[in-house]
């Protein structure tokens, strides 16, 4: 089977994992925030490895760093492979870096083997995927989806860290500017598609003993503030049947919401992440309780269905507890379906390599969401041990890392070969 250089690929992952590494006494994991010294070291490493293999390395005005293999036809489109080298605080070795370094390995393999290509192939490290200064900043800029206000907020946030601002100016000569970022957008007609390889960051593939996940869609998200209104009364003198307790209403709502989604929408999730109780003292019956709730699912239809059920629940709960409630609708992101043809190419590539696949949605957001608005985009996952991610314990078996990189190689061969 045509395959990547396994030893070289695992070496680059291991070496990248050392960059920004923290001692256990300092919390462990690694910090590679955008425009930190560790970020610069990670970029230098990527650049060195890519140039060492004779790939062309470029940097755009949003500090997206690319390695590129040209097919020789100046009018050809480009297949993009992307992810990110930045990490969350105390992040794992694989979130993001795995996709970038697997992409680099795919380019090196294609170049070494002199594979004829009909498209250019480019692997990108997107700036600030994790959102230190602004989530998905690099992919948002490359796809032309950032408003001026969004760019200005990012630049202001970055400017508040003066040491990093100096590093930013070293990484991007002249620093980042609104005008340059606004004009770096790639024409969709220049792109042939986008593929992102990532660790699952959840438990499903490991539970199913399947090494390759084909992502069907990236979850959309809706968020609400639901406030229950009751009556403040003396906690000693008011008999229980006479009370109108806003916290009891909220508690019923929270527990039932979980039961409904777990029972009837097993692929979706619901979370109540914050509760504020008023007056918030032990001897007064709570007269007001605000609950922040969000739910995520792979399709708009499912989000609509969950929304209807939770609205019904909200009314039902207040009726039974003699309270009232109000709802404030917060931010919403729509689900992003992945491209069907590239999903098919991933499945066929996995079959060629001898790996079974499982279709699954992505609960986490990725740069692929932004790319999907301008070019056919798809993602593949490999298992995360115990579903852990965004922590030092993040782990994926080396065999699964190699499997993912080989399936990426064969997917790119289908798209660009």
| List of residues contacting Zn ion (CB under 5 A) | 95-96
Minimum CB distance to Zn ion smaller for 12 or for 384? 384
Q: 197 or 403, CB closer to Zn ion?
A: 197
Q: Cα–Cα–Cα angle for 4, 217, 356, nearest 5°?
A: 45
The Cα–Cα gap between 239 and 235 comes to: 9
Strand partners, 194: 80, 377
C-alpha distances in angstroms, 315 versus 163, 243, 288? Answer: 52, 18, 16
Q: CB of 175: closest distance to Zn ion in angstroms?
A: 26
CA–CA dist 181, 144 (Å, integer): 9
Structure tokens at 297: 């699912």
Is residue 360 helix, strand or coil? Answer: strand
Nearer to Zn ion by Cβ, of 99 and 230: the residue is: 99
DSSP 251: H
Rounded to whole angstroms, the Cα distance separating 81 from 272 reads 35
User: Which CB atom, from 221 or from 288, has the smaller least distance to Zn ion?
Assistant: 221
In the complex, least distance from residue 95 CB atom to Zn ion, rounded to whole angstroms: 4
Query: What six digits make up the tokens of 105?
Result: 């390995």
For Zn ion, which is the closer residue by CB, 327 or 395? Answer: 395
**Nearest approach, Cβ of 272 to Zn ion (angstroms)?**
25
The least CB distance from residue 198 to Zn ion, in Å, is: 6
Q: Which residue is nearest to Zn ion (CB)?
A: 96
Could you tell me which residues come within 8 angstroms of residue 109 by beta carbon, excluding any fewer than 6 positions away? 3, 4, 5, 409
Residue closer to Zn ion (CB basis): 105 or 367: 367
Q: How near is the Cβ of 138 to Zn ion at its closest, in Å?
A: 12
Residues sharing a CB contact under 8 Å with residue 369, sequence separation 6 or more, in sequence order:
136, 218, 333, 336
With 0-12 / 13-18 / 19 or more C-beta atoms within 10 angstroms meaning exposed / middle / buried, residue 364 is: middle
- Closest distance to Zn ion from the beta carbon of 364 (Å): 7
Buried b (16+ CB within 10 A) or exposed e, 85-94: bbbbeebbbb
In the bound state with Zn ion, the residue whose beta carbon lies nearer, of 206 and 367, is 367
- State the minimum distance, in angstroms, from the CB of residue 97 to Zn ion: 9
CA dihedral 231, 237, 242, 245 (to 10 degrees): 40
Tell me whether residue 95 or residue 206 sits nearer to Zn ion (CB atom): 95
∠272-277-282 over CA atoms, to 5°?
130
Cα–Cα distance measured from residue 194 to residue 99, given in angstroms and rounded to the nearest whole number: 12
Min CB(333)–Zn ion separation in Å:
16
Give 92 or 286: the residue with its C-beta nearer to Zn ion.
Answer: 92
| Least gap, CB of 384 to Zn ion (angstroms) | 11
């Amino acid at each position: 089977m045509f395959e990547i250089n396994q030893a070289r690929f695992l070496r680059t992952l291991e070496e990248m994992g050392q960059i920004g590494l923290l001692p256990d006494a300092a919390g462990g994991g690694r910090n590679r925030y955008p425009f930190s010294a560790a970020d610069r070291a990670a970029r230098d490493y990527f650049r060195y490895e890519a140039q060492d293999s004779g790939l062309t390395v470029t940097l755009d005005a949003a500090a997206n760093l690319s390695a590129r293999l040209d097919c020789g036809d100046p009018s050809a489109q480009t297949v993009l492979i992307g992810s990110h080298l930045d990490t969350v605080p105390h992040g794992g070795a694989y979130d993001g870096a795995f996709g970038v370094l697997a992409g680099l390995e795919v380019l090196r393999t294609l170049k070494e083997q002199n594979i004829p290509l009909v498209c250019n192939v480019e692997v990108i490290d997107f700036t600030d995927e994790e959102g230190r200064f602004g989530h998905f900043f690099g992919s948002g800029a490359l796809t032309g989806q950032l408003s001026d206000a969004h760019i200005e907020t990012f630049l202001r946030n970055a400017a508040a860290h003066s040491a990093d601002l100096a590093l930013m100016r070293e990484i991007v000569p002249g620093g980042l500017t609104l005008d340059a970022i606004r004009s770096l957008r790639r024409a969709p007609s220049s792109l042939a598609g986008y593929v992102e390889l990532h660790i699952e960051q959840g438990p499903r593939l490991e539970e199913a003993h399947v090494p390759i996940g084909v992502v069907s869609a990236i979850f959309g998200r809706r968020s609400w503030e639901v406030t229950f209104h009751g009556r403040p009364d003396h906690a000693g003198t008011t008999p229980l049947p006479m009370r109108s307790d806003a916290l009891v209403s909220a508690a019923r709502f929270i527990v039932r919401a979980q039961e409904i989604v777990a029972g009837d929408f097993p692929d979706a999730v619901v979370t109540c992440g914050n509760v504020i109780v008023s007056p918030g003292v032990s001897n007064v019956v709570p007269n007001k309780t605000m609950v922040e709730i969000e739910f995520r699912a792979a399709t708009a239809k499912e989000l609509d269905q969950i929304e209807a059920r939770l609205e019904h629940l909200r009314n039902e709960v207040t009726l039974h507890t003699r309270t009232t409630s109000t709802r404030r609708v917060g931010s919403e992101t729509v689900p992003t379906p992945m491209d069907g043809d590239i999903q098919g190419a991933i499945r066929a590539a996995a079959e060629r390599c001898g790996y079974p696949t499982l279709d699954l949605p992505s609960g986490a957001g990725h740069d692929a969401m932004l790319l999907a608005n301008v070019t056919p985009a798809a993602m593949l996952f490999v298992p995360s041990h115990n579903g852990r991610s965004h922590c030092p314990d993040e782990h994926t078996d080396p065999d699964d890392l190699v499997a993912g990189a080989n399936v990426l190689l064969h997917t790119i061969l289908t798209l660009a070969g």
